[in-house]
Amino acid sequence: MRIALVSEHADPLAAIGGTDAGGQNVHVAALAAGLVRRGHDVTVFTRRDTTGGAAAVRCEDGYVVRRITAGPPTDVPKDELLQYMPAFGARLRTHLEAERPDLVHAHFWMSGLASRDATRGTGIPVVQTFHALGSVKRREQGDADTSPPTRIDHERRLCRDVDHVVATCADEVEELRELGLPPGRASVIPCGVDTDLFRPGPRRDPDGPPRLLVVGRLVTRKGIGNTVEALRDLPGVELVIAGGPRRDALDADPAVVRLRALADRLGVADRVRLVGSVARPDVPALIRDCDVVVAVPWYEPFGIVPLEAMACGRPVVGSAVGGLLDSVVPGETGELVAPRRPDQVARAVRGLLDDPARRAAYGVASRRRAVERYDWRRVVEQTETVYRAVAGVHARPTTKVLR
């Protein structure tokens, strides 16, 4: 198949760990590479956010990244990109008319708007993955939500307009039904993990102090501050925080300043280490050098870091939200706690640190679950099945497709 992936703010080649560069970038890159390995022709369309570099790049993994000019060629916060989507969609339409893909897979709601406009009247089907929903964000963040006020209405219309939705967890399907998604129009396919890259192994300093790891964007809703707060009740335990800008730019980053001030106020600054953004190939070693990975966001559409921890044989203490409800099995691969509850985080972590045998058993079960359920090869195969069914509906309108 000829497949177009649209990811307006998440360039698959971008450095991970910035304000708007995280799991979606990883997801799109891995999906594109996996589809190419299965023999498909894949192009990823994203917005140009820099004046440097080529407009089209063929990656080592075989897919092409096309950067479309829409708005200023600079880094723009994703919540301010809606105004540029008409231009993005118009230029995307030019490319699609020339390349005639069998299917477009839009990632994030604004990509969905652009894809819908670009394919109108062409007969090219659109599959949508939201990655996050405005209804959930508004509920969890309230007045702190910086999304455009029309986001939820746009997502509601996309549920009616696109041909199929690929949700990343069962919890998301319930939210989509509330938005009006018709029955039978969604498939649940989780995010994946590269189980060849992320593999178990010992700590490089096995005699070092107990160590926790948090990986992700340093935004408040990721709950990193809650993990810092939990450290008060975990004497002698270190916390490594990976994410944000490069190490040499940490001192000027507002999120880093906020976390350091919190650690100082709580008297745990000597046990908190911020390492900045980490190159993707270096993340597995970072995970293996910890005892427990903590992922306690206030809400989370899916959460790739818990999968990476599981693949490396490390237990996860996660919050009982979104995709973590699917990926983390309490009492088997980790523990789930309520979001915004550092006391529960501390209790769960202490239980694991005090019981090496249980921690090891969780690690073995985590690795097995990651390989059996979340390996990217399995995820790509499931996605391809959806693509063929959706494209088949358009190629043969009278054919009934069983889902």
| Chain mean pLDDT for the chain | 92
Whole-number pLDDT of residue 26 = 87
Alpha helices, H only, 217-339: 224-230, 254-266, 283-288, 304-311, 324-327
Q: In what order do the strands lie in the sheet with 334-337?
A: 272-276, 238-242, 211-215, 292-295, 316-319, 334-337
CB-based contact 186:167 (threshold 8 Å):
yes
In sequence order, the 6+-apart residues with CB closer than 8 A to the CB of 305 are 23, 215, 216, 293, 295
Q: Are 85 and 114 in contact (CB under 8 A)?
A: yes
Taking the model in full, what pTM does it have? 0.86
| Residue 260 pLDDT | 98
Q: Report all structural domains of the chain as residue ranges with CATH numbers, in order of start.
A: 2-192+376-395 (3.40.50.2000), 211-374 (3.40.50.2000)
Q: What is the pLDDT of residue 393?
A: 57
What pLDDT, on a 0 to 100 scale, did the predictor assign at position 127?
Answer: 98
pLDDT tens digits for range 102-137: 999 999 999 999 999 999 999 999 999 999 899 988
Q: Which parts of the chain have pLDDT scores under 70? A: 15-22, 393-403
Question: What torsion, rounded to 10 degrees, do the Cα atoms 210, 216, 218, 221 define?
Answer: -100
Q: How far apart are CA 324 and CA 320, in angstroms?
A: 6
Residue 365: per-residue pLDDT = 98
CB 294 within 8 A of CB 237: no
Residue 132 · residue 108 · CB < 8 Å:
yes
pLDDT at res. 14: 72
With beta carbons less than 8 A apart as the criterion, state whether 223 and 319 touch.
yes
Report pLDDT for 20: 45
How many whole angstroms separate alpha carbon 261 and alpha carbon 127?
Answer: 44
pLDDT at 366: 98
Contact 286, 17 (CB under 8 A): no
Closest CA to 284 of 367, 206, 386: 367
Q: What is the pLDDT of residue 7?
A: 96
